[in-house]
Structure 1
Amino acid sequence: MAKLHSKLIWVILIALLVFVGYLYWIPSQKTDIRRDAAVVAVSTAKVETKPMIRSVNSLGTGISNNSIQLISPTSDFVTELNIREGKAIKKDEVIARLHDVEERARVTELEGILEDQKRQLDRLKNLATTQATAQSMLDEQQTRVNTTLAQLDIAKAQLAEMTIRAPFDGYLGLRQVSVGAYITNGTVITTLDDLNTLRVAFSVAEHYLADISVGMPLTVTNAAYGNISFNGKVSAIDTRLDPITRTVTVHGALPNDDLRLRPGMLLHVKLELDNRQAMQISEKALVPQQQKQFVYKVGADNKVTQVEVKTGQRVPGWVEILSGLEEGDEVVVEGIQKLRSGVTINRVGG
């Protein structure tokens, strides 16, 4: 019986020792957990200086630098056509001629009359030096000469209308008439487009008006050429805004020597408003508080400090830093919600 009591006492002592050990072990585990919890896993990035490009996107339409319809200025038969569809033509080259026999005859007739009248005028001028009565005849003859000159100018203009010439260098469109056809005043013969420079017309919201100026760079893309970009510059800005859409029409000029761009194309325009070097961080690093912006800056001991920053321009995903940070400083960009000043961080991810 004494042995049984002795064993029971030892069991009770061992149980007490285990219980006391457990009481000491639990607080140490909680301390370790709290210590581990104080280290927050975050992603960080460094402040860097790089180009800050602000741009605006719009849809535009391609238009020729110069574009006209060549029409007949009078009515008559077509006697000559020099239309090579889609081919280049130089300024003043003959595109078409109309039947001009009557006009040529009229010019020849008036040139002969004018020559005879000038001879008579010269004789009267000699007489006028010796005979006073010849002065009135001289005046009448001078009037005849002037009248004939005017008629000759009209006849030459009518003759010139019978020949249609290219008013500028360009590319001919499709032929609309044939040789021998009788055409009337206003009939379209073909089209002429200057394609070596293509203009693009697009609209920009009035919000950007103060940022736009002639000469600014722009790029365009078109579905026909995938991701290939065509570079150009702003050539003109309309003096008026659309009162309904509150947009301003802008024209850009694009070199097009290879003729890949054509009038009427739908073009995706990217207008570069600003391109300069600026100190930037990811927008995700910002912590807005009331009217101010803060970031968590990482120190040498991996502890973070909340720092107020002054921001400038923004582009998608990035913000310019004007003050509060230096180039090369490390800031937290992900995991901000768990942070406060003095917390130790553990970098994860990129």
Structure 2
Amino acid sequence: MSALIRGTATVAALAAATGAGIWAGQTDLLKLPPTPAAVITEARAEEPRPVIYYRDPDGKPLYSPTPKTTDDGRPYIAVHVGEDGTSSSPTAKPETKPVVDSSGTRKIKFYRNPMGLPDTSPVPKKDSMGMDYIPVYEGEDSDDDSIKVSPAKIQRTGVETVAVTRRPLVRTIQAPGVVQLDEQRIAVLAPRFDGYVVSVGPVTTGTHVMKGDVLAKVFGQEVLNQAARLLIEQTWTKIDEASELPGLKGPAGVVGATRRLRNLGVPEEFMDEVKRERSVPDTFTYRSPIDGYVLERNWSDGQGFKAGDVGFRIADVSVVWMMADVAEGDINGVKPGQPVTVTTRARPGRTFKGKVTVIYPQLNKETRTIPVRIELPNPDLALLPDMYGDVDISTGNATALTVPASAVIDSGNRQVVLVDLGNGRYEPREAKLGRRGDGYIEIMSGVAEGDRVVSNGNFLIDAESNLQSALKGFETRQTTEASQ
């Protein structure tokens, strides 16, 4: 019995040992069968990931939603899901409901490319350069033509607005000019009789003389003859005054001698001296008739002269002319009496005020300019003849509805202003422009008085408008393709 039990135990031990060796030798049977989750993961890893966009092969900030090639024929690089900060799971569907921000008040509709490309995403993502996509909230992509800009962006870029108001529209016309003498302030000394120069006063060309200064002493026989006649007529006048016979009174004779001397250009002081001294001097003195500069001195001591010969030419430069050459296209705005400001290189930092007096009725066909005469006071004689100057003529002062010139976005074919609607919303309006002034433009239509328009930063808002329009067009195209 005991032997039988021992035999049975021995057989069982041998069988167990044999079975263990056989099982251990089957190496393939040591591996566990794969689980369903591992099979799904491996299958998904092998599936192709969808392409979200294509980028430039050189790393430039150039993108395309469809396959594209560079100018030299190289294809753009495809960016797949998971390579641009998005979820790598192709089966992960974006949240269809609008995302609520941290404040719980506004809902995010989608995210747009930070570089302004027509690329949107329903979930937060980054572009190839690591920049976050910008959220677009409900109400920021309205269906009307207005533009919504965030307050932070407005503050960063310094957007400024001004009210549309009525103001005098002044335009400054600029032209070159040359200082000239006032023709009405030039005095010429030319005797009306033949004679000789006894002596010339202490004056030369360029000398500044005052009214009454001695220019020259001259002798003229005709003057002496008329002076002697003046004495005779004066004597007869006294006899007539003393006579009680009315037929002997004749004052007309004295008037005749005096008139002849005046016609000869003899000064009054010479005639007064003849009457006072009761004698005829051999010479008389010519004095300066005005204050000014001696332009010409043609006499010398002992020189003879004929009637009409110019002895001296004197110019008063307390008032001068500025002859400006105004362009043909600007002459319509110039009118007599308009204020003028003149600057010169010879007097830096100084400005001279004057007014337009004459517009010449002639055109210089070589330069296509029209001469305009400007009268300038010159009390300190700072402006000299033939001096160059820069002329600014202020033209027009009629009141008009105006906006700053910087508020108009001019594309050549259309002119647009951006009207501030409040709360960061702006509306582009096409405007009809009128006259242009210094920094302002007349608005014929498009805005009303009191509207506020963007005067600084309008190009930023215009770029934002183009971006929003591109995004709307991109969304419309995606919707159309999805429906097909």
Q: Is the Cα contact below 8 Å between 1:172 and 1:193 reproduced in 2?
A: yes
**Residue 196 (structure 2) pairs with residue 76 (structure 1):** yes
Q: Confirm or deny that 1:53 pairs with 2:170.
A: yes
Task: Find the partner of 1:160 among 239, 251, 266.
Answer: 266
Q: Which has the larger radius of gyration?
A: 2
Counterpart of 2:218 in structure 1 is: 99
Secondary structure in structure 2 of the residue aligned to 1:279: strand
Aligned equivalent of 2:89: 22
TM normalised by structure 2 equals 0.53
Q: Which whole-Å CA distance do the structure 1 matches of 2:304 and 2:35 have between them?
A: 131
Residue of structure 1 in register with 2:465 after alignment: 339
Query: Does the CA contact (< 8 Å) of 1:94 and 1:163 recur in 2?
Result: no
1:9–1:329: structure 2 CA closer, same or farther, 3 Å change rule? same
- 1:305 and 1:342 in contact (8 A); partners too: no
Aligned positions of 1:306-345 closer than 5 A: 306-315=428-437, 318-322=440-444, 323-324=446-447, 326-330=450-454, 333-335=458-460, 336=462, 339-340=465-466
Structure 2 unaligned residues grouped into runs of 5+: 1-27, 50-87, 96-109, 114-118, 121-132, 137-147, 268-283, 472-484
> TM-score, with normalisation over the residues of structure 1?
0.69
> For 1:65-102, what per-residue CA distance to the aligned partner results, in whole angstroms no more than 9, with x for missing partners?
34436344244124241538543523xx2542333274
Q: Deviations over 1:234-272 (max 9, x none)?
A: 22333x233746654322222221211112211211100
- Closer/same/farther in 2, CA of residues 80 and 121 from structure 1, 3 Å limit: same
Q: Mean Cα displacement is larger for which, 314-323 or 19-28? A: 19-28
Preserved CA contact (<8 Å) 2:233 2:253: no
| 1:196 and 2:321 aligned | no
8 Å CA contact 1:69–1:188 kept in 2: the answer is no
1:218 paired with 2:340, answer yes
Aligned-partner residue type, residue 186 of structure 2: I
Higher strand share: 1
CA distance in 1, matches of 2:254, 2:169: 72
CA distance in 1, matches of 2:321, 2:403: 35
Identity %, equivalent residues:
18
Deviation track 1:11-43 (CA, whole Å, cap 9, x = no partner) reads: 443345667943156978x95534547798896
For residue 14 of structure 1, give the secondary structure of its aligned residue in structure 2: helix
Contact 2:419 / 2:452 at 8 angstroms: preserved in 1? no
CA RMSD of aligned residues (A): 4.6
* 8 A Cα contact 1:64 1:193, kept in partner: yes
Larger displacement relative to structure 2 (209-218 or 147-156): 147-156
Give 1:305's aligned residue.
427
1:56, distance to aligned residue in structure 2 (A): 0.9
Matches within 5 A, 1:230-249: 230-238=352-360, 240-242=361-363, 244=365, 247-249=369-371
Match of residue 171 from structure 1 = 292
Cα contact 2:354–2:375 (8 A) shared by 1: yes
Alpha-carbon offset, residue 223 of structure 1: 1.0
Distance in 2, Cα, partners of 1:59 & 1:87: 29
Pairing partner for 1:89 from 188, 197, 210: 210
Is the contact made by 2:161 and 2:420 (CA closer than 8 Å) also made in structure 1?
A: no
**Aligned residue identity for 2:378:** N
Aligned length: 326
Report the CA distance between 1:342 and its aligned residue: 6.0
Higher relative contact order (CA 8 A, sep 6+): 1
Distance 2:215 2:410 in 1: 73
